[in-house]
C-alpha cells in the first residue's frame, strides 16, 4: 500500500530542482529541447521503506515536449553511480542532498516494480501539496525479486525488465505484463500516459 512521503514545504533548495535539471539535461542524448524554457508539468513520489532516500518523479516540458525525470535524493553519494549524479543541492532542513537520475538507484527501481505489481498508487504527501495521480496496473503471477540496471532506460529483474520512458505518451503497450500510468493535463488536454512497462526480459 502506498505510503506517506514526508516533505518540508517551507524548506529552501539551492540550487532549485529545475535549475539543477537545466544544467544537466542538455548533455543527455534523449533530450531535444532548450533547457532554458524547462517548466514543471507534474510530480509524484514513492517512499523508501527504510526512510533514507527521497524518491520523486518530475514531469517537465521543454519545446512543447513532455519528459519524465525520475530523481532520488540522498544524504551521501551512492556507490557506483557517479555517471548518474545530476548534482548536489543544499536543503535548508536536511543539508546537502546528492541528486541522482533514479534509473541508477535501486530504491527507485524496487518501488517502481512494487507499485506496478501490487497495483498500487504513488505516495501521498505529508504537506497536502498536489501530486500527479499515478497507478500500477497489477501483474498477475509476477514475484518481486532483486533488480539491477540494464541499459539506459531498462531495469532488469530476473526474468523481467521494466522499460521507463523519458517521453511518456498514450500508446497502449503491446505485450506488457503491467504498466505504470499517470493522469496529466497537457496544453489543456486530459491524458492518461504510460510511464513504465513491465515485460518479460
Q: Give dist(CA 44, CA 86) in Å, integer.
A: 19
Which range marks the domain in which residue 96 is found?
4-200
Query: Which residues have a Cβ under 8 Å from the Cβ of 168 and sit 6 or more positions away?
Result: 59, 66, 68, 182, 193, 194, 195
| Cell numbers linked to 30 | 534523449
- CA distances to 65, 146, 153 from 115, rounded to whole Å, are 26, 14, 18
Task: Give the predicted TM-score (pTM) of the model.
Answer: 0.90
pLDDT confidence of residue 12: 87
- How do the pLDDT tens digits run along the chain, 201 residues long? 567 777 767 788 899 999 999 999 999 999 998 899 999 999 999 999 899 999 999 999 998 899 999 999 999 999 999 999 999 999 988 889 999 999 999 899 889 988 999 999 998 887 666 789 999 999 988 876 655 555 567 776 677 888 999 999 877 788 899 999 999 887 788 889 999 999 887
The number of angstroms, rounded, from the C-alpha of 166 to the middle of its chain's C-alpha atoms is: 10
Number of domains in the chain: 1
Amino acid at each position: 500500500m502506498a505510503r506517506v512521503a514526508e516533505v518540508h514545504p517551507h524548506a529552501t533548495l539551492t540550487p532549485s530542482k529545475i535549475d539543477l535539471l537545466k544544467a544537466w539535461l542538455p548533455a543527455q542524448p534523449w533530450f531535444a529541447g532548450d533547457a532554458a524554457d524547462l517548466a514543471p508539468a507534474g510530480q509524484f513520489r514513492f517512499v523508501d521503506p527504510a526512510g533514507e532516500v527521497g524518491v520523486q518523479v518530475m514531469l517537465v516540458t521543454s519545446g512543447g515536449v513532455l519528459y519524465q525525470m525520475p530523481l532520488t535524493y540522498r544524504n551521501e553519494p551512492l556507490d557506483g553511480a557517479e555517471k548518474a549524479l545530476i548534482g548536489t543541492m543544499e536543503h535548508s532542513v536536511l543539508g546537502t542532498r546528492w541528486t541522482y537520475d533514479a534509473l541508477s538507484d535501486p530504491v527507485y527501481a524496487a518501488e517502481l516494480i512494487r507499485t506496478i505489481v501490487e497495483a498500487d498508487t504513488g505516495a501521498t504527501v505529508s504537506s497536502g501539496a498536489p501530486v500527479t495521480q499515478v497507478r500500477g496496473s497489477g501483474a498477475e503471477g509476477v514475484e518481486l525479486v532483486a533488480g539491477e540496471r540494464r541499459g539506459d532506460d531498462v531495469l532488469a529483474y530476473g526474468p523481467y525488465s521494466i522499460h521507463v520512458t523519458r517521453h511518456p505518451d498514450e500508446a497502449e503497450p503491446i505485450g506488457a505484463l503491467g504498466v505504470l500510468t499517470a493522469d496529466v493535463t497537457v496544453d489543456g488536454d486530459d491524458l492518461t500516459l504510460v510511464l513504465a512497462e513491465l515485460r518479460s526480459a
